Each structure stands twice: as structure tokens, then as C-alpha cells.
Amino acid sequence: MYNFDVVKPARIADAVKELSDSSESQPLGGGQTLIPTLKQRLASPEKLVSLAGIDEMKGVCKGEDGSVCIGGATTHATVAAEAGDYPALAATAAHIGDPAVRNRGTIGGSLANNDPSACYPAAALASGAIIKTNAREIAADDYFQGMFTTALDEGEIITEVRFPVPEAANYQKFVQPASRFALVGVFVAKYGGGVRVAITGASNDGVFRWAEAEAALSTNFSASALDGLSLSGDDMISDLHGTGAYRAHLCAVMTKRAVTAAG
Amino acid sequence: MPKDGGIGASTKRREDVRFLTGVGNYTDDINIHGQAHVFFLRSDVAHGTLNSVDTSAAEAMDGVVRIFTGADFEAVGGMPCGWQVTDRHGEVMQEPRHPILAHQKVRHVGEPIAAVVADTLEQARDAAEAIVVDIAELPAVIDMKDAVKDGAPKVHDDLTSNLCYDWGFVEENKDAVNKAFEEAAHVTTLELVNNRLVANPMEPRVAVGEYARGTDEHTLYTTSQNPHVIRLLMGAFVLGIPEHKLRVVAPDVGGGFGTKIFHYQEEAFCTFAAKACNRPVKWTSSRTEAFMSDAHGRDHVTKIELALDADNNFTALRTDTYANMGAYLSTFAPSVPTWLHGTLMAGNYKTPLIYVNVKAVFTNTVPVDAYRGAGRPEATFQLERVVDKAARELGVDPIALRRQNFITEFPYATPVAVEYDTGDYHATMDKLESMGDFAGFAARRAESEKNGKLRGLGVNCYIEACGIAPSNLVGQLGARAGLYESATVRVNATGGLVVMTGSHSHGQGHETSFAQVVSEMIGIDANMVEIVHGDTSKVPMGMGTYGSRSIAVGGSAMVRATEKIIAKAKKIASHLLEASEADIELKDGAFSVAGTDKSVAWGDVTLAAYVPHNYPLEDIEPGLEETAFYDPANFTYPSGAYACEVEVDPDTGKVSIERFCAADDFGNIINPMIVTGQVHGGLAQGIGQALLENCAYDADGQLLSASYMDYAMPRADDLPMFQVDHEDGTPCTHNPLGVKGCGEAGAIGSPPAVVNAVVDALQSAGKDVTHVDMPLSPDRVWAAMQ
Ligand SMILES: Cc1cc2nc3c(=O)[nH]c(=O)nc-3n(C[C@H](O)[C@H](O)[C@H](O)COP(=O)(O)OP(=O)(O)OC[C@H]3O[C@@H](n4cnc5c(N)ncnc54)[C@H](O)[C@@H]3O)c2cc1C
């Protein structure tokens, strides 16, 4: 680790100010990604702006439109325990990492990082969530821009994430045996206006929506509607744990399972 | 029921109290006033010419004490190899120089190039980033079969090729074996890989070097399984420090699994640098460094053939193995694919003719050496896979085929040079069959199929060899060490005693089980017995712990020393009781005269030994302290039969282990709870190898699995509740406790059971799959089904 300063502001406005003071400062959520990166000397911020002391960024509540609103600094454990209005989301949070990770890691950190194998990006994209920052609101469809890439500007903080609650939803995570991130994770959400299917872990471009599956399921929300549908493995991640073709196959299997489980 | 603390009691492990409450004393807990820290700059390329290492900018940085490069170590020895193998043509193996820091060339990712000693670790890391290394990259050799091709890039320019040795065993049997294959009614052939593993003990390696200028004494604190071996190798062959000026301490060690047997560069460096810098020097491995500097395990590629006659009797066995040595010879690397592997190829079967060929190969990878089981898992895996495949090809029951070919008479001399003293393979298989409820398997399979899963049952046997010995034999086989063990029993005046054992405990629970043996022999409370290990300044020259040798060899030395103590104590007692020595009996901590009510307590005898007022000074010396060195007459041969039941998800290829049963014959047992724990741990690692663990390199020699993000360790929820049974074993015939050893069995016996079960599951669904290489990860199983 290189040396750095840490500040722990109590309000969003102060955090934004701390971040804008210097281009070498960076927000710190739960540190579950950032701290290991620092330990390996792969990043050298001068200042970390911890978001853990900002109460207005923590907790789960219900919005006027019925959506589930989660503060950007809310831990996975809190979402697992308190997002009961959106059971598939709570269940997703409950299966991220291990208890230590869930007690520290935050939804804002996860979405800002946009790891191609992370779980929340699939939940947010399939739910058509709104990512609120200190400056604006970003629709999930515009937010995810490829692995580790998002619409966030430098110094912009995710303050809240709003999830419209679907009629039915489920997340199926097929774990990579070593990291236990998603080798392939499929989040299916059925809304009045149609079904959304978002897939993480598989693509070289990060989380994506599977349009053909969405169309088929919007007409007939059952696993059999997916018969014969498949994705190409050509552009998918190929590594020690699975080829692109294997991941493409898992996308179809996990989508069916998510639909069946969503009921 | 044995009394608590005695032989046969499941006494709770006394050492766990300090381990679990955070008051253990691990090497990283040792911090010496004024110590500096070393950071090793390691190669990030697999093979290259080291043109220059420019440390000038780094040396000027804050806190830097001194920076060392390969040039600083030209005058000292290279890392020694402790075993010399002679090949099938009578030539000795090729043995390259293994420098402490890379010199002129780098040969694997992770090889240390420079060592920065600084006031703090962060300063050392900062300075390491300022070192300018100029490496001209060379093509790397990673695949073993590529490495032995003509014209392959050479790992070591001064060797004739990348072939370390070409070993044939037993060379004289070769023609007869080939003839038996020509005459066979059936031949089963299988090609397989025994996957490369990283041991991953919970505690990473640590070394702290200290030098006392006033007395010219060196001390090395290190995470070792055998401090005396390190003292001898490092003192005599690397640094030229006489043993009486060198102390090596291996305090609490958090797991070894073999990878902490070997002498490593970092140990020699810290010892050397402590004197050169006149400051204690400390190194603690990071987990990432551990992946690329701890010796790896396994990594064999094998073709095995089994010949059977028309009645399904095994008539001959032939194997052809490539064994990866990595870039250099780690301390005991040459012995693993040869004497710890070829000698076990008979397994539990009376196959009369066996020929084993092993080609050991240098590649641009981390050195490979012994890992839990060392050679025996590789032997067991091939043999039990090929036997299973033969049963399937012949359409016979795999258990019946094994039983038909079991060795049933002991002692039994195998055609691969070893003699099994005892065993009862049918009895072990009987136990397994009742534990495993094989009769209920069909119903369980039907139930799985209802849930869309394929169920498979895999069974295998194993034999292994522990306590490798005797020393004069292993010397003939190429060992450059003896394989005895030592113990000193020091009885104190008030009756408590200390056993200083050459065995080393790094999780095995010796402090508990060794004390149980001595307390039983004397009849005193186990709390009166202290077990001391791991310090060359306290313990007589000992060989340490590996190869499941501690209770069989170290325990035997302790028994012999305790017998000497008892013999002397009886002399003292006979004097105190004014009776003939022949009439003295020791029971429950008191000496009595047979047939009388005259007795004297243990504590009175020990006090007399140190306060010899009323004492036979003319016959015996005062004091009560004895040492024994025990050199076993033979190996011990634990054996067992394992069964695994799996469910395979046909849509994803994911395997889950539903049941695992282990029936083991470890001979007599000192502490059943500790033995169960050893079996559980071994099974976890064996199942880890079979399903999860894979140390992988890409074609350029980059380590793909260099962290837990990609190297899958087994976790509790990957494993079922194990059913184990190790009661009623056949006692070893040649050591005083009748014990065999249990530390490695689980890791040796379990991988074939898992693979046999998965093949069974896939075949039950009509898939034409005869083998899947480990680890049986979901993608591989799925691919095999397509
Ligand atoms: C062992 C382990 C297992 C894991 N398993 C999983 C898993 O199964 N599934 C999964 O999805 N994830 C997994 N994770 C990742 C985990 O969910 C992390 O919590 C997450 O990736 C990052 O969140 P964090 O709050 O820790 O962010 P940090 O590590 O603090 O920060 C990550 C990045 O986001 C930025 N950042 C943080 N908060 C904000 C914010 N509010 N606004 C803008 N930028 C911000 C930081 O500057 C940094 O660049 C695992 C992590 C570990 C260590």
C-alpha cells in the first residue's frame, strides 16, 4: 500500500467537496474491492473519502411510487435483511461473497466498480433501476458501459439506487468455484410492461440484456418459452473456469431456472 | 473405555487452547528489536536472460539498509537437493545450480531477482519499484512433452537437455512385463493427468534471521516441518555455518502439507543478511508470493496399462509418466515420482509383473515437490482409475474385480521392491460395504433421477507407505539424509517430564497424542508430560515431520527413550525398596515389589535420582534423562477402501458429493479423535484436488491461478459429512506401538473415488465417457458430456 489520507465526512455535500478538492482523491465504500487493490499497489490515491459516515446514504426505504430505494452506502447485509419488499433483490444481496464482505461491501461500491462478474449490476439492469448520484439520475440502461466502465463522472457519487418492484423476479447465480462471484448470473424481472433479463459474468462487455429472451418471456412467462433460444459464446469471457461456449450454455440454463423459480 | 489421557482416548488437543485463543507463537509473531524487513523483487517473466539489475536509484531511497542481487551470492552454495536419483542407464540425474537470487537468467515467474532490506516493509517495497531490471525474454517451456522434444528451449543452458532423469523400475522386469502384455487376454489403457496443486497452508512462510556478533551465533526462525534438516542443509551446503553456530527454530507452524519441508532461498537469505547487515532480517510471504514461491505438488502426466488374463486376474502393469520438476530441483523433488511412487504401484493387488517409467522434466515453472501424500496419491490415482476402467470394459463389478486380485497373505513382497508387513484388505472392504450401504444405492440413484440429477458411486482401495526407512536402504536409493527419529526424555526431580522430540507438529496434535503414550507407559497424568519440538538448541538431531512418519518413527523413538527411563527408574526403586530389580513392577505411577504391598511412588524415585542421598551411586549415575534414536526396519503400510457418491447436474456439469465413506487400517490408534481429524483434512484436500484445485500456467509461463480468485480451495459446503471408520486395524509388526500413520491417507485415497463416481454417473446416463481429468470442474464435466 502507498500512503494516503482518509477523511470521513458526515454529509453528501462535504464528500463531494472533498472529492472535488483534488483529482487524486477517491470515494471509499466498503473497501472490499478498493482496499485489496491498494494493498497490491495497483492504485495510488492521495486521499480516500469514506462514505461510511454519511447517514443520508444508508438504509432501505420505500419510495412514493412503491420502488425500493437503497442508499448508496448501504451494505449488502442490510439489503439482505431489509429489502423484503423486493425479495429477489434481498436474496441477491444475501448471496454476495461471505458475511465479512456483506457486512462491509456496499451497493454504491459494487455498481461503481461494475465488475463483469458482480451480482448487483444484473439486478439493477433487469429491474430498470435508477442510479441517483449527487448530480443526476441515470437509468440503468444508460449506466452500464462495459466491464469496469460506467456513466459516472470523476468524483461523482452514487447516493441512492431505486428499484421498481416487479410482479415476479429471481436471480440465479452459478458460482465460479474459486471466487464465488458469478460465473454466470441471470436476473429475470417481470413487470406490467414486459420482462427484463440481465446477465452478468458472461460477456466481455459486462452485464447485458438478452433481448430475444425478454421478447419470448414477455409473451409467455414460462421456461418453455425459452426453448430453442441461445446466445453465441463468441464474445463471451473464456478463462480457466469456462469457455465462452460453456458460459453461453449456462446463460440459457440459468435463465430458464430463474423463470421457473420466479413462478 | 481407555482412561482420559491414555492410549486410545480421544483426549482434546491441548495445543488448541493457545491456537484458538490467539496466543500461539507463530514465526510472524516473532519480532526482534532492531529488525529490518526484506522484500523480494521477483521475476514477472518465465524465462529470460538477466542482462542487468540496476539498484543505484533504489539504494538512495529512504530507509534502505542494503540491496542484494545474484552477484552477492556467487561465493555461497546453491540450494541443495537432498535426493539423487540414478536413471535406467545407471547415470545420475542432471542437477542444476539453484541460486539464492537469480543470476544471469530467470527461470520461472516468481523467482527472486533482488532483495531489498529496509527499515520497514513499505520502504523496501518502494525501493524495489525503483530497481531497473533488464531481462531479454526467452521462449518458455511449460508443457513437459514439449520440453523433452529435440530443439526445445533449455531451462538450464549447462545441462544437456530438460530431462532430469529417465527412471525405470524395475528395469530388469521390463522384458517380462512386455511379454505378459503380449500374452494378455485383455489390456486396459488410460491416459491421465495428475493436476498441479498449491499446498496453501493457512500460515504463509516466514523467516527471521538473527546474528549475535559477540558469540558469532546465527539463529533462524522459520516455518519449517524439520528444523534440523534446514540447519544441516543451509549450514553445510549453502552458507558454510557450522551446526554449533547455527540454531534453527520452527515454533508454532500453521500447516505444512509438505511444502514446508524444503529449504528455501528466503531462509538462507535472511540468515545471511542478518550478519551482512548486522540486524535481524524478517520476511513474511504474502499469499501472492506463496502461490509463486512455495513448492507446488503433483503435476504428472501418465499412460497406464493393465494386463489381465482370461479369468480377470491382473498379470502385468506398465506405466509411462512425465513428472514436472519445475525450473529447479526442490529439496526432495527427485524422490517423489520415483521411490515414493514407483514402489507403490502394486497397490493392494498381487499383480506379479510391474514396470514403471518416469521421465522427470525441467520446465519454466515453480519447482514441484512433496505435497500431502507425495507420489502415493499419483500412484493410487492411476492404478485405481485403470482398475475401474478395466471393470467397466469387462462388465464386471469393480469391487469383485478388486477383491479377486487382493493380496491376502502377509508379509507380501511386491514386484516393486517393498514388503508389506501386514494388512487385511477384505476386512477393510467389508467395513466399507456396510458403511456405504451399497444395497441402497439403486434407490438413491432413482431418487436423484427424479430430481433431474445423475448419481454415481465410485469405490477404490489404496495402500501407502509411511515412515520411509531404514536409513541404510534409503541411502542406497539416493537419499542424502538418514530417516531415523530422535527423542530425549528428561524427567524432573518432582516427577514431571519433558519429551524433546525430533518430530515436528504443525497441526497434527503431537503435544497431546505423544503425551498420551508416555503417560500410559509410566501411569502418570498426561498433564505431567510436556512435549517440546521445533528447536535445534533443545531437541536432539531429528528429521522432522512428513510422510506420516511422526507416530511411527518419532513415537517409537519416544517409546524407546521412555523404556530406558523406566529401566533406570526400576533400578532406583529396587534400591529404595531393598528388593531385587527383577521383582519391581511399574503400575499406575508406582513401583511395587511383586507379591508384596511394598511400593514407592514415581515422584519419590525421580526425587531420589536428583537428590541421591539414598541411592546406588556405585551402580548408576544420578539423574533421569535418556535419549533414543529409532531407525525403523521397514515402512509402515496403511491401507483402506473409500467410497464416494456424487450427483451430477446434467445441465451444468456441476458435481456435488453426497456421501463419502472412508474405511482405513492405520494399525493401532493413540487418539481416535485426532486420527479422525487427520482423515477429514486429508479427504478435504483429496476432494479439493478432484473437484476444485488447479494450478494452471499459460503457454508463456504466466501463473493463471495466482490468487484465491482463481485457485479454488475446498470449503465446508463443498464437502459432505464424512463417514470414517478406522477401528480394529491390523497392527504394524515392526514398531513398538503397532502404529502405521494416518496423516496423508485421506488425500491419497480420495481422488480416484470421486472420479470413479463421476464416470459412473455419466455412464448411467448413457454417456460414452471413460475419463475426465481433474479437477472435475463444471465446465470440464459438461464438456465431457457433449
Ligand atoms: C471475498 C469477496 C467476495 C465477493 N463476492 C462477490 C459476489 O459474489 N458478488 C458480487 O457482486 N460482489 C462480490 N464481491 C465484491 C463486493 O460486493 C464489493 O462490496 C463490491 O465490489 C465493492 O463495494 P465496496 O462498497 O466494498 O466498494 P469499494 O471497494 O470501497 O469501492 C469500489 C469502487 O467503487 C468506488 N465507490 C465506492 N462507493 C461509491 C459510491 N457510493 N459512489 C461512487 N463510487 C463509489 C470506489 O472509489 C472504488 O473505485 C466480493 C468481494 C470480496 C472481497
List pLDDT tens digits, range B720-742.
999 999 999 999 999 999 999 99
* Whole-Å CA distances, B274 to B67, B212, B283, B309, B476: 13, 9, 12, 65, 38
Distance from chain centroid for Cα B41: 29
Cell of residue B488, nine digits:
530425549
Q: List B residues 487-516 in contact with A (Cβ-Cβ < 8 A).
A: none
Residue B414 has pLDDT above 90, yes or no: yes
B42, B200, B652, B656: best to mutate for the A interface, most A CBs within 10 A: B652
Transcribe A116-174 into DSSP letters.
Answer: TT-SHHHHHHHHT-EEEESS-EEEHHHHB-STT-BSPPTT--EEEEEEPPPSEEEEEEE
Q: Is A219 a member of any domain?
A: yes
**Among candidates A178, A183, A249 on the partner chain, residue whose Cβ is nearest the Cβ of B708:** A178
Q: Is the CB of A210 under 6 A from ligand 1?
A: no
Q: Is A244 a member of any domain?
A: yes
Which one, of B208, B48, B50, lies nearest residue B121 by Cα? B208
Sign of CA dihedral B111, B116, B119, B120: negative
Decide if B183 touches A, using CB distance below 8 A: no
Q: How many helices (H) and strands (E) does chain A have?
A: 10, 12
Q: Is A129 a member of any domain?
A: no
Interchain pair B779, A177: CB under 8 A: no
The answer to whether the beta carbons of residues B543 and B533 sit under 8 Å apart is no
Would you state the pLDDT for residue A21?
84
Measured by CA distance, the residue closest to atom 16 of ligand 1 is: A105
Q: Which amino acid is at B510?
A: H
Helix B778-785 with A244-262: angle, nearest 10 deg: 100
Cell of residue A224, nine digits:
418453455
Q: Is the CB of A233 under 6 A from ligand 1?
A: no
| pLDDT band of B3, cuts 50, 70, 90 | low
Cell of residue B243, nine digits:
551446526
* CATH fold of the domain at B484-630: Aldehyde Oxidoreductase; domain 4 (3.30.365)
Residue B75 has pLDDT above 90, yes or no: no
Q: What is the pLDDT of residues B588-635, one digit of tens each?
A: 999 999 999 999 999 999 999 999 999 999 999 999 999 999 999 999
Q: How many Å apart are CA A23 and CA A45, to the nearest integer? A: 9
Strands (E), B273-313: 281-284, 300-308
CATH 3.90.1170.50 in chain B, residues?
19-138+202-255+260-293
Domain holding A36: CATH number? 3.30.43.10
The answer to whether the beta carbons of residues B193 and B301 sit under 8 Å apart is yes
DSSP H or E segment with residue B405:
helix B398-405
Residue in chain A lying closest to B692 (CA)? A177
Interchain pair A178, B783: CB under 8 A: no
Q: How many C-beta neighbours within 10 Å does residue B498 have?
A: 16
Residue in chain B lying closest to A250 (CA)? B652
Would you state the pLDDT for residue B740?
96
Q: What is the pLDDT of residues B151-210, one digit of tens each?
A: 999 999 999 999 999 999 999 999 999 999 999 999 999 999 999 999 999 999 999 999
Domain encompassing residue A217 = 168-262
Q: Is the CB of A108 under 6 A from ligand 1?
A: yes
Which one, of A68, A47, A49, A50, lies nearest residue A2 by Cα? A47
Interchain pair B778, A242: CB under 8 A: yes
Distance from the alpha carbon of residue A107 to the mean position of ligand 1, in angstroms: 7
Sign of CA dihedral B115, B119, B122, B123: negative
Interchain pair B709, A249: CB under 8 A: no
Interchain pair A250, B652: CB under 8 A: yes
Transcribe B13-37 into DSSP letters.
Answer: -THHHHHHTT---BGGG---TT-EE
Domain holding A183: CATH number? 3.30.390.50
pTM above 0.90, yes or no: yes
Kindly state the average pLDDT of the residues B351-380: 98
What b/e sequence results for A174-187 when a residue is b if at least 16 CB atoms lie within 10 Å of its CB, and e otherwise? Answer: bbbbbbbbbbbbbb
Q: Is A113 a member of any domain?
A: no
Q: Is A153 a member of any domain?
A: no
B120, B649, B779, B781: best to mutate for the A interface, most A CBs within 10 A: B779
Ligand 1 atom nearest residue A105's Cα: 19
Q: What is the pLDDT of residues B111-150, one digit of tens each?
A: 999 999 999 999 999 999 999 999 999 999 999 999 999 9
Q: Which chain B residues are closer than 8 Å to A178 by Cβ?
A: 692, 705, 708-713
Cell of residue B453, nine digits:
440429477
Measured by CA distance, the residue closest to atom 45 of ligand 1 is: A109
Low-confidence ranges of chain A (pLDDT < 50): none
Transcribe B202-255 into DSSP letters.
Answer: SSPPEEEEEEETTTTEEEEEE--S-HHHHHHIIIIIII---GGGEEEE--B---
What b/e sequence results for A8-22 when a residue is b if at least 16 CB atoms lie within 10 Å of its CB, and e otherwise? Answer: ebeebeebbebbeee
**Among candidates A3, A241, A253 on the partner chain, residue whose Cβ is nearest the Cβ of B777:** A241
Residues A207-211: contacts with CB under 8 Å, at least 24 apart: A207/A114, A207/A116, A207/A121, A207/A122, A207/A125, A207/A144, A208/A125, A209/A125, A209/A126, A209/A141, A210/A251, A210/A255
Minimal Cα–Cα distance from A248 to chain B, Å?
11
Q: Is A257 a member of any domain?
A: yes
Q: Is A87 a member of any domain?
A: no
Q: What is the pLDDT of residues B639-652, one digit of tens each?
A: 999 999 999 999 99
Q: Is A231 a member of any domain?
A: yes
Interchain pair B778, A174: CB under 8 A: yes
Q: How many Å apart are CA B725 and CA B722, to the nearest integer? A: 10
Distance from the alpha carbon of residue A113 to the mean position of ligand 1, in angstroms: 6
Distance from the alpha carbon of residue A60 to the mean position of ligand 1, in angstroms: 18
Helix B510-522 with B555-577: angle, nearest 10 deg: 30
Q: Which chain A residues are closer than 8 Å to B708 by Cβ?
A: 178-179
Residue in chain A lying closest to B706 (CA)? A178
Radius of gyration of chain A (CA): 18
Q: What is the CATH number of domain B296-469+634-780?
A: 3.30.365.10
SS3 state of residue A107: helix
Distance from the alpha carbon of residue B258 to the mean position of ligand 1, in angstroms: 36
Share of chain B above pLDDT 90, in %: 98
Q: How many Å apart are CA B423 and CA B202, to the nearest integer? A: 34
3-class SS string, B693-762: CCCCECCCCCECCCCCCCCCCCCHHHCCCEEEECCCCCCCCCCCCCECCCCCHHHHHHHHHHHHHHHHHH
Distance from the alpha carbon of residue B541 to the mean position of ligand 1, in angstroms: 52
The answer to whether the beta carbons of residues B26 and B202 sit under 8 Å apart is no
Which of A19, A25, A32 for mutating ligand 1's site (highest number of atoms within 8 Å of CB)? A32
Decide if B778 touches A, using CB distance below 8 A: yes
Q: Is the CB of A79 under 6 A from ligand 1?
A: no
Minimal Cα–Cα distance from A182 to chain B, Å?
12
| pLDDT band of B1, cuts 50, 70, 90 | very low
Please name the residues in contact with A233: beta carbons below 8 A apart, sequence gap of 6 or more.
A243, A244, A245, A246, A247, A248, A249
Q: How many Å apart are CA B106 and CA B113, to the nearest integer? A: 8
Q: Is the CB of A106 under 6 A from ligand 1?
A: yes
Residue B4 has pLDDT above 80, yes or no: no
Distance from chain centroid for Cα B151: 36
Distance from the alpha carbon of residue A62 to the mean position of ligand 1, in angstroms: 24
Q: What is the CATH number of domain B19-138+202-255+260-293?
A: 3.90.1170.50
Q: How many Å apart are CA A240 and CA B695, to the nearest integer? A: 10
Q: What is the pLDDT of residues B655-680, one digit of tens each?
A: 999 999 999 999 999 999 999 999 99
Residue in chain A lying closest to B693 (CA)? A178
CATH 3.30.365.10 in chain B, residues?
296-469+634-780, 484-630
Please name the residues in contact with B189: beta carbons below 8 A apart, sequence gap of 6 or more.
B303, B304, B305, B306, B386
Which one, of B177, B151, B170, lies nearest residue B162 by Cα? B151
Which of A23, A101, A138, A184 for mutating ligand 1's site (highest number of atoms within 8 Å of CB)? A101
Q: How many Å apart are CA B267 and CA B218, to the nearest integer? A: 12
Minimal Cα–Cα distance from A241 to chain B, Å?
7
Minimal Cα–Cα distance from B651 to chain A, Å?
7
Sign of CA dihedral A49, A54, A57, A60: positive
What total number of domains does chain A contain?
2
Interchain pair B711, A253: CB under 8 A: no
Q: How many Å apart are CA B216 and CA B211, to the nearest integer? A: 7
Measured by CA distance, the residue closest to atom 35 of ligand 1 is: A109
SS3 state of residue B630: strand
